[in-house]
Chain A
């Protein structure tokens, strides 16, 4: 009840409402622009957010995250190009639906499923976050060390990329976290006598460079790609028959999305793909998938938006980011002096209520915005890259400069822009670096504390039950791709020759 009251207090402030409306509109706009997604946008906004009051600043990033995740579906359906990676699965059936003249129906279903999934994900977040945070009361350095290792181990199971490359990215991020003066001794590490590096790699500049700068260079190779709007449609509210047909799909997608979202390092993209595959696997009309099945739109859209709530759970409760966007939101929280965890719930319940309220309101608002504005947002995707990206880079560079008014920061951002491009080109996702940078500090700090607490015996960490569970889960997490392969090989061997493998 107390929480509901505080949510209402937050939403009754006109400034907050304006922020939600503006942030949601901007988020859908950004989501509809291929190449710009919530990760790039939140990274670009970081220099501004860290100047705001903590609650409105973080609420704005959360709202953009929610709205951009939905916005990606509009272009996925109308131009066969997902605005965000999380909407990739929506193209499989959304675009065929649009091609056969049912773009309005597909958009309506995507909007309805996204909003429903998003709201269910946030309700789960409201319940799960305080519970998980209470668990954190039992956490000492050993448990935090094991939890952070578990978070890193989950990088191994992110689908779509090489396990080794994800782990290399994560380890590189951890290493970047060691640059600067060692907190305990003041000894400089990897600073190369550059005074600006004494305080370490600045995460804001690093993220702006990796995500926005790297993407600009990638976009320079995409200039020849022509995008065609297959339909100029207005979203149509799903019919009663469609709702009856889809309610189970939306609930399943929301469940999968919330669960996948809660797992550290996973996120909306993984959730949407799994939800799509599961829906197809259990569907009576498997053949329709890929040709314009409405379930193929509803499942991934419900899942990727439910995952936005899910990913916030470990972020707020434990300080372990649930994905790329939440890693940047967590960075903003830390820069603003907020430490996620049980203390945050005890000392600032109004902060969490505000975040919950903002995300809920954003889902409700984009339901209306999507219904009336899909036609407008689909046209935004046609903004030429020749105008958009020069402006994005200027905002990135001056944003990086504005935090400490330092040209060194702009140079740092530029170096990470080049790194971001090369990483993506050779199959290294940039998100693991950010995860590594954030979790690396936690790993090193808690390891050093544990060493002192247990008189130099790090094996004592294994005697802590919670830590042991997390470390065991880490081993499973790292070996999960291997285990999956072994199971598949075994299945193949047991299958009679000639039998087709189940997709």
Chain B
């Protein structure tokens, strides 16, 4: 059902057996490096430390050091993607598109979290469990009804009664 579809078969080695650019790794390097550079620049917007507290290492120094390390690692990742060794080319798996089921499942997770705010916890639990189960191909409706009814009751007992959590309500 949720088979991953291959969209990029240009990775690994070319017809002459030479390693070719690993596009997915290069994109990762660019995202990580770009993000780190952006955050590095952001450290210059941190509030100034008052003189009475300005002793020792300032609050921006350590994050900057870590971000520089991240930038260095992203450059290394990018370099390896541009100039892969034969060994890494042999191991390299072509990039595949993310299956639709992942997006749909992620959408349901998001709706569940949004639902907690608007319709309350217990209705959200029921709707989410049934919807995800159906989305994933379950068709034993009776079993779905019984299982998730019992589970919702257990959630109520555990969180509301035993742990005294004020679960979100409508």
Contact = CB atoms under 8 A, between A and B. Distances in A.
Contacts of B138: 384, 386-387
A407 B168 contact: yes
Contacts of A390: 128-129, 132-133, 148
A461 interface: no
B57 interface: yes
A384 B138 CA distance: 9
B83 to A, nearest CB: 14
Nearest to B55: A452
Contact of A168 (B2, B42, B70, B80): B70
Question: Which of B50, B66, B77, B138 has its CB near the most chain A CB atoms (within 10 A)?
Answer: B66
B53 A220 contact: no
A168 B80 CA distance: 14
A182 interface: yes
A216 interface: yes
Interface string B41-82: 011001101100101111110110011011001101100100
Given A168-B77, A217-B106, A224-B1, A398 B53 contact: no
A214 to B, nearest CB: 11
Contacts of A417: 109
A394 B155 contact: yes
B2 A224 contact: yes
Q: Is the interface of B mostly helix, strand, loop or mixed?
A: helix
A222 B66 CA distance: 36
Contacts of B13: none
A402 B106 contact: no
Contacts of A387: 133, 138, 143-144, 147
B129 A51 contact: no
Given A51-B163, A385-B136, A397-B116, A165 B77 contact: yes
B32 interface: yes
B98 interface: yes
B59 A182 contact: yes
B169 interface: no
A477 interface: no
Contacts of A395: 155
A182 B50 CA distance: 13
9 contacts: A175-B63, A222-B2, A387-B147, A390-B128, A391-B129, A394-B151, A395-B155, A407-B113, A407-B168
Interface of B: 1-4, 24, 28, 32, 39, 42-43, 46-47, 49-50, 53, 55-60, 62-63, 66-67, 69-70, 73-74, 76-77, 80, 98-99, 101-102, 105-106, 109-110, 112-113, 116-117, 121, 125, 128-129, 132-133, 136-138, 143-144, 147-148, 151, 155, 159, 163, 165-168
